[in-house]
Structure 1
Amino acid sequence: MDFSFLIFAAAGLSLAMFGAWATQRRTGNSGWIDTIWSFAVGLGGIASAIWADGASERRIMISVVIALWSLRLGAHIGTRSKGAKEDPRYAKFIEQWGKAASFRLFWFLQIQAAAAFVLVLAVYLAASNESAFPRIVDLIALGIAVIALAGESLSDAQLAGFRKTPEAKTGVCEIGLWRYSRHPNYFFEWLFWCTWPLLAIDTGGWSWLALLAPAMMYWLLVHVSGIPPLEEHMLRSRGEKFRALQARVNAFFPGPRKKNSATEQGATQ
């Protein structure tokens, strides 16, 4: 493992999130934070694939996959953020922090830089795999990445379509994939990061560290910065309609809809 590259990557991610902090302070739009974070992780992943000394075919495939992920997610969030109001999750934090908001947001985003480093590390470990390419496990990993990217793109498109309808003002989205998970976009985002431990197998003694990427993403999305603040916002803005959705639709993993006597509503976030 090349620790000099990892130190360089960590410094670059920290600097990128400093830029995200400065952008939010200047514009008052925290949507740009997640946009910058997505592009920073993508650039770090591509740099990892270039720098690593694994099989060249695997490194090329990794570069393409992480670039597609970064460009899609960054463009999606950036387009959504343009001209939008403050993200309700960040708005709540900033309100709670009061006069210390600027200082605390800075360090909060440095924590996000650390989380980004965990993801870049997983990509680096995968790109460092010197095993012949492709193995069966490589093809399985690529299949998971394709499903994850397609699923997240579809769920984002379905939600964007719903938000253009009159029902979006008071309802919750239950069209397409949103009928089977309250947060299908989060589920597919987590699934994408399950790709990297598979690609990293046989890297050697450090390969197990790639497991930190899906483990961390699950913890963040399900228990910290993803579902909890978003659902709290939905409960405040949609009330009983969202409570009824919670009763009949899984929060994260897609599954069969639960039977509920409440009248079906249209909807989500």
Structure 2
Amino acid sequence: MVISLICKVLGTSELFVLSQIELTKQFMTGRVAFSEYYVISYPFTSASLFHVLLMPIVFITGVLTHDVSQVDRLWSMLPSATIFHYAIHNYLNGNGSLRLYIYLAIALFWSTRLTYNFARKGGYSPEGEDYRWEILRSKMSHFQFLLFNALFISVTQLIILLCITAPAMIFVEVGNEDLYTGDYVFGSLLAACVILEAAADEYMWSYQSAKRHYKETGEVAKGFTAKALKRGFCTIGMFAYSRHPNFLMEQCIWCIPYFWGSYLTGKLLNWTIIGAPMYVCLFQGSTSFTEGITSAKYPEYKEYQKTVGRFIPNAGSHWVEVLEEDRTD
């Protein structure tokens, strides 16, 4: 009943879904070897199984280490690894898809850059738990946070990271058709978003580095003012027009592939839409929580919120930094 309803909503075959469930059962009970299962299963099915098996691992690790940022550390790696899996599966079945390889190349670029950015901020250190988890933990009872860790951090987030890669299935199914004009357009848009996200992260890194240096030495780094550094939050470059330009680009990076797939199929709606809305909702919720913390910490942030759009720039409005002579004495 539930499977039938899901299949109707997603517009996919119930018989196909049931056959994949049965195949997975045979693999899990040892009746089908891994090598056979990997090749004959639908690639999204085997990817789903991997993510499901990963869920208890990240949950238990988080509980034992008292650090629930395990999924955060996988965030920049899992989607591109999943797309790489799709490409390998495609190759082993004697198929080729240039657009899938292009998508994979862009995803690997995204992954490499985001992993580097996360690492330089100390995300992979033993003390690298996201500060927001600690704040949320303090607002809940031990049992409530344990439940939140199990249902959201360890399960829902991994489901989202799996589902945002679903549009790659369209590239697999279309096969090695010649590239169309739209492929170049969507591929270029996707690459541009990755580059813009990198630029936004560099603005933030430059500001945070300058702020840290100012606190330690009292020296104002070139390109900044003491007032801007004392303010506590970044308003330079892209952040003068969007409060979270990096988050905006991140959402675009995982929404564009869906529209790329829709272009290829000629249908606006298809089952691979499952990831993009969840990703957008996740960023809406996490950004609201983050801004609540920031506005409580920095008095001027509320004025910044009135002037600058959260993601999309406000028409005719942006943050103007008043330059003044800074003194360090």
- The alignment's TM-score, normalised by the length of structure 2, stands at 0.69
- CA distance in structure 1 between the partners assigned to 2:111 and 2:321 by the alignment: 39
Q: What is the match of residue 197 of structure 1? A: 258
- CA distance in structure 2 between the partners assigned to 1:213 and 1:65 by the alignment: 18
| Cα contact 2:106–2:190 (8 A) shared by 1 | yes
Alpha-carbon offset, residue 146 of structure 1: 1.0
| Cα contact 1:31–1:77 (8 A) shared by 2 | no
Match among 29, 50, 54 for residue 16 of structure 1:
54
Which protein is bigger by CA-based radius of gyration?
2
- CA distance in structure 2 between the partners assigned to 1:199 and 1:259 by the alignment: 32
- Larger helix proportion of the pair: 1
Gaps of 5+ in 2: 1-11, 21-40, 215-227, 324-329
Bigger CA drift: 6-15 or 199-208?
199-208
Deviations 1:115-139 (A, max 9, x none): 1221122222233223623111111
| Cα contact 2:240–2:318 (8 A) shared by 1 | no
Bigger CA drift: 247-256 or 75-84?
75-84
| Cα contact 1:138–1:198 (8 A) shared by 2 | no
| Cα contact 1:55–1:129 (8 A) shared by 2 | no
User: 1:194–1:111: structure 2 CA closer, same or farther, 3 Å change rule?
Assistant: closer
Bigger CA drift: 20-29 or 177-186?
20-29
- CA distance in structure 1 between the partners assigned to 2:185 and 2:73 by the alignment: 29
CA-atom RMSD in angstroms: 2.9
1:230 and 2:285 correspond: no
| Cα contact 2:58–2:71 (8 A) shared by 1 | yes
| Cα contact 2:200–2:238 (8 A) shared by 1 | yes
| Cα contact 2:68–2:149 (8 A) shared by 1 | no
| Cα contact 2:73–2:124 (8 A) shared by 1 | no
Match among 170, 180, 188 for residue 143 of structure 1:
188
| Cα contact 1:193–1:214 (8 A) shared by 2 | yes
Which structure ranks higher in relative contact order (CA pairs < 8 Å, sequence separation ≥ 6)?
1
1:216 and 2:278 correspond: yes
Alpha-carbon offset, residue 45 of structure 1: 1.6
5 Å-filtered alignment, 1:88-107, equals 88-100=131-143, 101-107=145-151
Gaps of 5+ in 1: none
- CA distance in structure 1 between the partners assigned to 2:199 and 2:52 by the alignment: 31
- CA distance in structure 2 between the partners assigned to 1:168 and 1:156 by the alignment: 17
- What code does the residue aligned with 1:45 have? I
Matched residue pairs, number? 261
| Cα contact 1:122–1:212 (8 A) shared by 2 | no
Q: What is the match of residue 114 of structure 1? A: 159
- What code does the residue aligned with 2:106 have? V
Match among 175, 189, 208 for residue 163 of structure 1:
208
Q: What is the match of residue 41 of structure 1? A: 79
- CA distance in structure 1 between the partners assigned to 2:53 and 2:119 by the alignment: 19
- The alignment's TM-score, normalised by the length of structure 1, stands at 0.83
User: 1:205–1:254: structure 2 CA closer, same or farther, 3 Å change rule?
Assistant: closer
| Cα contact 1:122–1:197 (8 A) shared by 2 | yes
- CA distance in structure 1 between the partners assigned to 2:52 and 2:79 by the alignment: 11
| Cα contact 1:49–1:123 (8 A) shared by 2 | no
Percent identity, please: 19
| Cα contact 2:238–2:245 (8 A) shared by 1 | yes
- What code does the residue aligned with 2:98 have? E
- What code does the residue aligned with 1:40 have? L
- What code does the residue aligned with 1:106 have? A
Bigger CA drift: 191-200 or 16-25?
16-25
